[in-house]
Amino acid sequence: MKTRALLLVTLAASLAAETHQFQARSYSLVFTASGEPALRVKPGDTVETTTVDSNGDDETGKHVAPVWNALTGPFYVDGAEPGDTLVVHLERVRLNSRRGAASSRMADEADTVRDLLGSRFSGRGYHWTFDTGSMTGSTGLSPRLARYKLPLAPFPGCVGVAPAWGESLSALTAGPHGGNLDYNRLVEGTTLYFPVNVRGGWFFIGDGHAAQGDGEPNGGAVETTLAVRFRVDLRPKQKIPSVRAETKDFYAALGIGDPLDQAFQRATANMIHWLTGEFQLTREEAHVLIGTSARYDIGAVVNPRGKTVACRISRQALSQLLQP
């Protein structure tokens, strides 16, 4: 009877779910719960919207927002309370422009001081042209680069919720709430998990990237605009320490810290918490699984506050431990 009642409640919630077509009229440069939400949604609802690029330009090239990671949102999720987990399903993450901007410089955090001092080349801005049929990009920056076909994998560089303690944190930084994660595996089809720090969650998304190397070594990605569709859900009274991601292939626990080894440690701790909590492994089992099969991805090293590391475990590896 309990199972049937739960199914009926789930069915009723799905029938009541709405799809919202949202066009931003203003943008935020901070993750915050101050001010007014841009849109209120319910668990199960879907939002279709767009993001501007890091320069504040929309998909037509019109300058509509401040520079440096202007965010779409915030989206207030009814029923979300501190201690819950906000679930965001990235159902659609698509390019809605044929051009992207990038830089040929190397960020200080990605190069050595000796190389920087020994080189007179400081980089320059340039553009990519997208072929959405083949999902590749091309540039005429040099004759050799003109032969280079860049595989495109669009993702939002900034995703997150309002931080705890009433803080307002810059969209250029990252923390346990999310933020400027710049993790290039957060593509279409990814499910994201965020700790709810304030009532309503206050979810933001922005900083569209068409492609990016691990760590964002140029200090930026191939910056562009995106058309996104995401669905929100809640896990009441399920507290997590930091951002997590799940795809059909892997689980990724993110750690944000400074210096980079602190982010590495926090990513590992986040994964251990996940494996011993939701998946009910012992600590020893979690340690062995991580020690033998984990892959660590560098999301961003160039943030002024908060480097990003992801501890990634394949679903295939974990499934072997979960068999009855």
Instruction: With a cut of 80, say whether residue 113 has pLDDT above it.
Output: no
Instruction: With a cut of 80, say whether residue 244 has pLDDT above it.
Output: yes
Strands 19-21, 46-51: parallel, antiparallel or unpaired by DSSP? Answer: parallel
Instruction: With a cut of 60, say whether residue 3 has pLDDT above it.
Output: no
Q: Mean pLDDT, the chain, as a whole number?
A: 93
**According to the model, what pLDDT value does residue 98 have?**
97
* Average pLDDT score over residue span 219-247: 98
Q: Are 43 and 86 within 8 A, CB to CB?
A: no
Q: Where does the pLDDT of residue 112 fall: very low under 50, low under 70, confident under 90, or very high at 90 and above?
A: confident
Query: Checking phi first, is residue 306 left (phi over 0); if not, alpha (psi -120 to 50) or beta?
Result: left
Candidate from 12-16, 138-142, 299-303 with smallest mean pLDDT? 12-16
CA dihedral 73, 160, 19, 184 (to 10 degrees): 110
Instruction: With a cut of 70, say whether residue 48 has pLDDT above it.
Output: yes
**Could you give the C-alpha distances from 165 to 33, 308, 316, 323, in angstroms and in order?**
10, 22, 39, 41
**According to the model, what pLDDT value does residue 115 have?**
63
Structure tokens at 29: 């440069």
User: Which domains does the chain show, CATH number per domain?
Assistant: 17-98+151-240 (2.60.120.580)
Q: Are 154 and 237 within 8 A, CB to CB?
A: no
Candidate from 73-82, 142-151, 298-307 with smallest mean pLDDT? 298-307
Q: Are 57 and 200 within 8 A, CB to CB?
A: no
DSSP line for 32-58: -S-S--SEEE-TT-EEEEEE--TTSB-
**Could you give the C-alpha distances from 121 to 76, 104, 106, 118, 144, in angstroms and in order?**
46, 9, 10, 9, 18
**According to the model, what pLDDT value does residue 8 have?**
41
Report the percent of the chain where pLDDT is more than 70: 93
3-state secondary structure of 202: coil
**According to the model, what pLDDT value does residue 106 have?**
87
Entry pTM = 0.94
Q: Where does the pLDDT of residue 120 fall: very low under 50, low under 70, confident under 90, or very high at 90 and above?
A: low
Beta partners for 75? 39, 203
Instruction: With a cut of 70, say whether residue 269 has pLDDT above it.
Output: yes
Structure tokens at 156: 């939002």
